[in-house]
Amino acid sequence: MFYNQTNELRSRASKLIELLPLEKRIPVAVEDLPGLLGINVDYSDSLPDEISGFFKRNGKGNTPVIVINSAHPKERGRFTLAHEIGHYLLHAQKAVTINTLHFRKRDSSLSLDLEEIEANQFAAELLMPYHLMISEITGSDLLNHDSVNKLTTKLSKKFLVSEQAMTFRIAKLFF
Ligand SMILES: [Zn+2]
């Protein structure tokens, strides 16, 4: 079963955010979520540069593990973490039989693989929640290039994501 439906991904992401206390929702404390889900996280600075991180469903002691490339910027690490949590929640059926390693490559935003697209969409919904985006953007002039740039910078800092991820999010939501 695939979840390539925006509403489904959006509601799964918002349910996850509701596990966090209010003061940890902006920016979303994505680092706290694996502990709540029973996933271990390792940070490694010795991964190849083209790998942002990966997810292994049955790591040590059969506990799922997410490994993040800590040599990459913090914002990227947060997106990768959200992306891999997406694989854990959305793509369970596969790894029961196959010991799948989900590698997130630096250019995975260009991926055509459905599971990669879903994990990226889930990460965007988790880190840049829909209703918050709408309320932030209401009243701003999206037809003015300069104002979109300023908004992108402001919101990427507020939600602790890269400007690239925020640009992509705004474009997908409003254009
Ligand atoms: Zn992936």
Query: What CATH number corresponds to the domain at position 15?
Result: 1.10.10.2910
Q: How far is the CA of 10 from the centre of ligand 1 (A)?
A: 18
* pLDDT recorded at residue 51: 86
Asked if the structure places residue 171 within a domain, the reply is no
pLDDT of 96 over the 60 cut: no
Mean pLDDT of 34-59: 90
Asked if the structure places residue 37 within a domain, the reply is yes
Q: How far is the CA of 175 from the centre of ligand 1 (A)?
A: 25
φ/ψ region of 30 (left if φ > 0, alpha if ψ in -120 to 50, else beta) reads: alpha
Q: How far is the CA of 124 from the centre of ligand 1 (A)?
A: 13
Q: How far is the CA of 22 from the centre of ligand 1 (A)?
A: 28
* pLDDT recorded at residue 75: 95
* pLDDT recorded at residue 59: 76
pLDDT tens digits along 115-150: 888 889 999 999 999 999 999 998 888 888 889 999
* pLDDT recorded at residue 3: 54
Pairing type for strands 65-69 and 40-44 reads: parallel
Q: How far is the CA of 53 from the centre of ligand 1 (A)?
A: 9
Q: How far is the CA of 105 from the centre of ligand 1 (A)?
A: 8
Question: What band does 101 get if pLDDT is binned at 50, 70 and 90?
Answer: low
Q: How far is the CA of 111 from the centre of ligand 1 (A)?
A: 9
Q: How far is the CA of 154 from the centre of ligand 1 (A)?
A: 27
Cβ atoms 58, 95 nearer than 8 A: yes
Domain count, the chain: 1
Q: How far is the CA of 165 from the centre of ligand 1 (A)?
A: 15
Q: How far is the CA of 20 from the centre of ligand 1 (A)?
A: 24
The tokens for 29 are 């404390």
Q: Say which residue, 106 or 88, is predicted with more confidence.
A: 88
Q: Which domain holds residue 79?
A: 6-128
Asked if the structure places residue 169 within a domain, the reply is no
Question: What band does 158 get if pLDDT is binned at 50, 70 and 90?
Answer: very high
Asked if the structure places residue 44 within a domain, the reply is yes
Asked if the structure places residue 114 within a domain, the reply is yes
Q: Report the range of poorest mean pLDDT among 72-76, 90-94, 163-167.
A: 90-94
The tokens for 103 are 């590698």
The pTM score is 0.88
Q: How far is the CA of 113 from the centre of ligand 1 (A)?
A: 9
Query: What are the distances in angstroms from CA 80 to CA 83, 106, 138?
Result: 5, 10, 28
Asked if the structure places residue 168 within a domain, the reply is no
